[in-house]
Amino acid sequence: MRHNNDSKYDQGEFLLTATANNLLLFIGSYSEGEDEGIHICSFDGDREELARLSSISGVKNPTFLNVDENRKLLYAIGEGEDAEGKKAGEAVCFSFDSVSGGLTELGRKQTVHATTCHIQRDSSNAYLTVTSYHGGLVGLLALNPDGSIGEVLDVQQHAGSSVHPNQDRPHPHSSFYSRDGHYLFVQDLGLDLIVTYRIVDGKLVKHQETALPPGSGPRHLVVHGTLDMVYVINELNSTISALSFNSKTGLLALEQTESTLPRDYGGENGCAEIAISNDGRFLYGSNRGHDSIVVFAIDPLTGGMTTIQHISTEGGHPRHFALTPDGRHMLVANRDANNVVIFRVSPNQGTLSYSGKQAAFSKPVCVIPKKL
């Protein structure tokens, strides 16, 4: 496993220098095991500059990350092999130094018998969940008291199909917890379903299946901070759906679906990431093909969505993006442009503007900023 700690290096157009602030950006990417695929950077919001602090190899395709900022732990998915030499998912745990950005591997575990695309952690730090797009699987793993990865507790196999050519079998793409932590929402792109689970005695127990319009392809989900609403971005038909959530019954109900694309765009597109502002007033989604971020205003009473902006991501295939904890900036990972782009966020309007700054990284597909 190779480590690279650089406080100053030239990444394309911009010279990135380490700063004294304590906002860290964790980046996951498509990479071979021998290549550096996980990066930790500092982000100076005042100067709008990224500085790479460290990078690490030894994990193949660490395309999604989860950060426990309180215990200074980083969890990453990766690709491994099972006893028969077939592709399998693995989860890797690192500790990190919040000053130097240095990473130390604490252990790794095989998760499910197929490669995975997403990793999630519950708020009590008791469980990790992983989803396997190619295997149609959802895996539940225990976390030990020190945060290290424990045993695989349960694996659920989804079954079925839907109407789109990419929906010939199940494709669980992500898992997110309800605000109270009692329910786990799994977005299955292949089935046009949000499958709600409860965790009971270390097992995933199915609670509800919520159907979305045929051919939607639900990918990722975000939970509103105050309203009883969740929003799911649909990859295949380029929409976002708003659903009400009854916290007493744990049931979802579809309320509204809106396009993520301008009306005059007729090209190919596939949606990817979704996020909501800290104040719950604005919703964001990424378009791959149109290569843009769509911005919606959220009605404070009903949770309804109104489109207010489309803006170029300054690069191709924006697979992931994130708002900084203070809400002043958005960082966009463009896989095909090999860059992370810095956008400013209007605090009152919620709209985005390009800062003119970006940094080069190879095939970035996950960006997670944390205030430490």
Average pLDDT, integer, range 68-82: 97
CA distances from 162 to 158, 169, 238 (A): 13, 8, 16
Average pLDDT, integer, range 70-99: 96
Average pLDDT, integer, range 7-29: 57
What is the reported pLDDT for 356?
98
d(CA 109, CA 132): 15
What is the reported pLDDT for 169?
98
What is the reported pLDDT for 17?
37
Q: What is the DSSP string of 53-112?
A: EEEE-S-S----EEEETTTTEEEEEEEEE-TTS-EEEEEEEEEE-TTT--EEEEEEEE-S
Residue 142's DSSP bridge partners are 127
The burial of 226, by beta-carbon neighbours within 10 Å (0-12 exposed, 13-18 middle, 19 or more buried), is given as exposed
pLDDT digits (tens, 9 = 90+) for 114-150: 999 999 999 999 999 999 999 999 999 999 999 999 9
Residue 64 gets the label, from left (phi > 0), alpha (psi -120 to 50) or beta, of beta
Which one, of 216, 150, 214, 228, lies nearest residue 183 by Cα?
A: 228
What is the reported pLDDT for 372?
85
Is residue 79 within 8 A of residue 63, CB to CB? The reply is: no
pLDDT greater than 90 at residue 313: yes
Measured in degrees and rounded to the nearest 5, phi and psi for residue 165 equal -55, -30
Distance, CA of 257 to chain centre: 21
What is the reported pLDDT for 8?
33
- Per-residue pLDDT band at 19 (split at 50, 70, 90): very low
In the chain, pLDDT over 70 holds for what percent of residues? 94
CA distances from 248 to 178, 187, 252 (A): 12, 21, 11
Range scoring the smallest mean pLDDT among 19-28, 39-48, 80-89, 248-257: 19-28
Mean pLDDT computed over every residue of the chain: 94
Which one, of 132, 122, 135, lies nearest residue 202 by Cα?
A: 122
What is the reported pLDDT for 64?
98
Average pLDDT, integer, range 173-181: 97
